[in-house]
Chains A and B, each alone.
Chain A
Amino acid sequence: MRRLVLLGLLFVVAAGGGVGAAARLRSHAVTWVWQQGSGSVYVGELAGSQTLVLHSPSAIDLRASHVRTMSDDGVWELVHSAKTPVAQLNAYYIGTATRTPIQVGAESNATTALVVAGTAGQKADLQRWTLSGKTVAAIDGQGRLRLGGVTLDLELVNGRAELFAITKSGKQLLAAGAPTP
């Protein structure tokens, strides 16, 4: 009887060791709920963050016939180093350096395809069109179209449409509305 009890205790202690070893196999470090991969290329859940992290020092490739991303709050953050001034989106033929357009929206969709949003009173342009880094056209922070150095502003003044051009020299009335015959 005594021997049986001793063997039973030995079994339980060994079992505890087995569970511990299995748990360590799952989690390489105490900061991960689970992790797969090497020190620099890995995927896992950060403990306490409920965040799934995929990391690689060089590149992460996602490939499928169809890529679908889902964000409950509708927000996709493109986070980059402060050493680069912008986040870039570019389309290429797979496996080549040949670029192709990015199309936003579909020809069958009857919704506003693209909204570019800013804050009332902002000084920065809402959108810019650039050639070799030089701005050639823009929608400015007041919603006006700027072509080169000329800003076009269309206003309704006492029911009459007035088209203004604004340059460094000042504001000029280009054209005013007259009832269409």
Chain B
Amino acid sequence: MKRFLLAAAVATAGFTIAAGATLANDAPPPGWSWLLGRIGEASLGRTTAQSALYVGAYYGGPVPTELSSKKIVISSSLGNFEFEHFPGIPNSTLLATTTSGQPTPVQIGLPDGQNLIPLIVSGASGMTPYLQSWQLSGNQAAGIGPLGHLRLNGVALVPTVGDDGAVQLEALLPDGTTQTLVPVPTKS
């Protein structure tokens, strides 16, 4: 009986120490309040310095993050949603696809009867690049220029109002010259 009890005690001690040591390896690394997964890999945790929730690979790398649900709600009390990417990439890209990879449109706004401007595109006065650009295979096809003019094929349409109230349409060419667009009489 004594031998049995001694053996059981030793076995229990071994099991507990080993299990505890294994689970203790899950203790968060320095700088983290808690962490699921491993830093640098697919992980989720809270940093201690900024009290921020970090979702994904902390050091970047080929670790995709997927959020899958019927509905995804992202709330920011400041209303500021940032899309950050590596400096070597010129812009962030939003791509909509079905689950089979078929591209689809991104729709902004709803026909629900609410009276608001669904989309505002903002820049700084005095800027030189286009405010918005429509591109085909990377080439500029149309745009809203830095002064708010519509540009088609590189030519800006500039409506002006004369002292007499008459509206005149001018074309601002890529070389900086302007032409007055004179209506062409329709043939009867």
Confirm or deny: A18 has a beta carbon within 8 angstroms of a beta carbon on chain B.
yes
B22 to chain A, nearest CB (A): 4
User: How many angstroms between the C-alpha atoms of A103 and B180 in the bound complex?
Assistant: 34
A143 to chain B, nearest CB (A): 3
Interface size on A, residues (CB 8 A): 123
Confirm or deny: B150 has a beta carbon within 8 angstroms of a beta carbon on chain A.
yes
B174 to chain A, nearest CB (A): 8
Q: List the B residue with the shortest CB-CB distance to A156.
A: B155
Choice from B82, B107, B150, B184 contacting A86 with Cβ under 8 Å: B107
Choice from A53, A102, A108, A127 contacting B134 with Cβ under 8 Å: A127
Confirm or deny: B110 has a beta carbon within 8 angstroms of a beta carbon on chain A.
yes
Name the A residues within 8 Å of B134 (CB-CB): 115-118, 126-127, 139, 143
Describe B's contact surface by its main secondary structure. mixed
Name the A residues within 8 Å of B165 (CB-CB): none
Confirm or deny: A168 has a beta carbon within 8 angstroms of a beta carbon on chain B.
no
Q: Say whether A89 contacts B108, CB under 8 Å.
A: yes
Name the B residues within 8 Å of A79 (CB-CB): 96-99
Proximity string of chain B (161-188) to chain A, C-beta cutoff 8 Å, 1 when within and 0 when not: 0000000011101000011111110100
- In chain B, positions 1-49 with a C-beta closer than 8 Å to chain A are 3, 6-7, 10-20, 22-23, 26, 36-37, 41-44
Choice from B17, B105, B155 contacting A161 with Cβ under 8 Å: B155
Q: Say whether A45 contacts B98, CB under 8 Å.
A: no
User: How many angstroms between the C-alpha atoms of A46 and B68 in the bound complex?
Assistant: 13
CB contact under 8 A between A10 and B72, given known A52-B44, A177-B171: no
Q: Say whether B141 contacts A60, CB under 8 Å.
A: no
Q: Say whether B73 contacts A43, CB under 8 Å.
A: no
User: How many inter-chain residue pairs (CB < 8 Å) link A and B?
Assistant: 405
CB contact under 8 A between A25 and B73, given known A68-B84, A71-B85: no
Q: Say whether B183 contacts A174, CB under 8 Å.
A: yes
Choice from B52, B69, B110 contacting A60 with Cβ under 8 Å: B69
Proximity string of chain B (126-162) to chain A, C-beta cutoff 8 Å, 1 when within and 0 when not: 1111111111111101100000001011110100000
Q: Say whether A14 contacts B11, CB under 8 Å.
A: yes
Can you spell out 26 A-B residue pairs with CB atoms less than 8 angstroms apart?
A: A3-B3, A10-B7, A14-B15, A52-B42, A52-B57, A56-B70, A59-B72, A60-B73, A64-B76, A66-B80, A67-B81, A70-B56, A70-B60, A72-B61, A73-B89, A76-B83, A76-B92, A86-B105, A90-B108, A101-B117, A110-B123, A113-B122, A141-B136, A142-B141, A156-B173, A180-B178
Top 8 A-B residue pairs of the complex, sorted by shortest distance between their CB atoms: A143-B141, A177-B179, A74-B85, A18-B18, A161-B171, A18-B19, A87-B96, A52-B42
Question: A residues within 8 Å of B by Cβ?
Answer: 3, 6-7, 10-19, 21-23, 25-26, 33-34, 36, 43-46, 49-82, 85-91, 94, 98-122, 126-128, 130-133, 139, 141-145, 152-156, 160-161, 163, 172-181
Question: B residues within 8 Å of A by Cβ?
Answer: 3, 6-7, 10-20, 22-23, 26, 36-37, 41-44, 52-53, 55-57, 60-86, 89, 91-100, 102, 104-112, 114, 116-124, 126-139, 141-142, 150, 152-155, 157, 169-171, 173, 178-184, 186
Beyond the given A52-B57, A126-B134, could you list 6 further A-B residue pairs with CB under 8 A, ordered by the A residue number? A72-B60, A88-B106, A111-B129, A112-B129, A177-B182, A178-B179
